[in-house]
Amino acid sequence: MSGPAGRSGIQAGMVQPRWTVDQIPDLTGRRAIVTGANSGIGFYTALELARNGATVVMASRDPGRGEAAAARVMGLVAGARVESAVLDLASLASIHSFAASQEAPLDLLVNNAGVMAPPRRMETVDGSELQFGTNVVGHFALTALMFPRLGEAPGAPRVVTVSSIAHKNGRLNFADLQSSRDYSPTRAYQQSKLADLIFAIELERRLRATGSRIMSMAAHPGVAPTNLFQSSEQRPLYRWARGWMTRAFGLLLNSEAGGAIPTLYAATSPGAEGGCYYGPQGLLEMRGDDVGLAKVAPQARERAAAEQLWNICVDLSGIPMLDVRHTRVSAV
């Protein structure tokens, strides 16, 4: 993994065409955490990291599914070093418990898990709207708690946060961030994915301001038919309609394995740069074998919104991270 030296700023990095998982470097001796690793993109991210020698903590909410996923990786990769761990990002107590159980140093944190568009408003254990609380506050808290372990890793440890092309239609509604007055499944999801991208960018700014070796970047999978589309909270007719649409538009969708490629590029490639956002290069960024720089919506670069969001995440999680109020944070 390359270091921050020579970095030219957000979205300045270039990607060689047709990067594939065969180009992942030897990761022997590296330790990685992947959230939501029991299925979908998280599973394939963990699989390829393990295939290339990393010790991978496969974090998931359901212990049974997590153990089954770890066993599947070990069945596919001889000698794979994987660990299954319980992590519910909708519970700050679970996040603290998970973080306390983890070893140091940590070379890579992949903030992949997510909740997508439950039809009715739900809340985390701690009272946040489920999508904002899980996708944003949960990963903020986890990153903050794992920060000391990342700092103990040699070289340039990485934090990769998975956003979505849905961020382009997202807006941070600070007047109703928790969707308490007006809940729309789609709007709440778009807002959470915009917040994820803002977090990744702001984290990189603060890391550079404090002279840290840690790098922050973001990725998105395009549109892949993962279990995000199969929430148990959805009505049967709604699940049937989504399943039918997934099959009907299958040619436009990325596979789960293909959707993991941008995350794996950000996580492992020597060419990946802090502050950059990577995704597939096919039609409307929905799919494609090529990974490259993804389009960042203007609202994801709003500095005032980023600082306000950061402070809200600190307040909601109760965990401070990279307080730079007395340090000038340069733009990237």
8 A C-beta contact, residue 45 and residue 264: yes
Residues 6+ apart with CB under 8 A from 315: none
**Catalytic site residue from 44, 189, 265, 277:** 189
Is 206 contained in some domain?
A: yes
Tell me whether residue 231 is in a domain: no
Model confidence pLDDT, tens digit, residues 267-277:
999 999 999 99
Q: In this structure, is residue 112 part of a structural domain?
A: yes
Supply the pLDDT for residue 285: 75
- Nearest to 138, CA basis, from 121, 126, 150: 126
Q: What is the model's pTM?
A: 0.88
Is 189 one of the annotated active-site residues of the chain?
yes
pLDDT tens per residue, range 183-238:
999 999 999 999 999 999 999 999 999 999 999 999 999 986 554 434 444 455 54
40: domain CATH number? Answer: 3.40.50.720
So what's the pLDDT on residue 323? 86
The mean pLDDT of 144-161, rounded to a whole number, is 97
Q: For residue 317, give both structure tokens.
A: 């999680």
Domain assignment present for 308? yes
pLDDT at 331: 37
Pair 34, 56: CB distance under 8 Å? yes
The number of folded domains in the chain is: 1
What's residue 239's pLDDT?
53
Query: Which domain does 88 fall in, by range?
Result: 28-222+255-317
Query: Are the beta carbons of 94 and 86 closer than 8 angstroms?
Result: yes
Question: In this structure, how many other beta carbons lie within 10 angstroms of the beta carbon of residue 175?
Answer: 7
List, for residues 12-39, the tens digit of each pLDDT value.
455 556 899 999 999 999 999 999 999 9
Residue 126 lies in a domain: yes
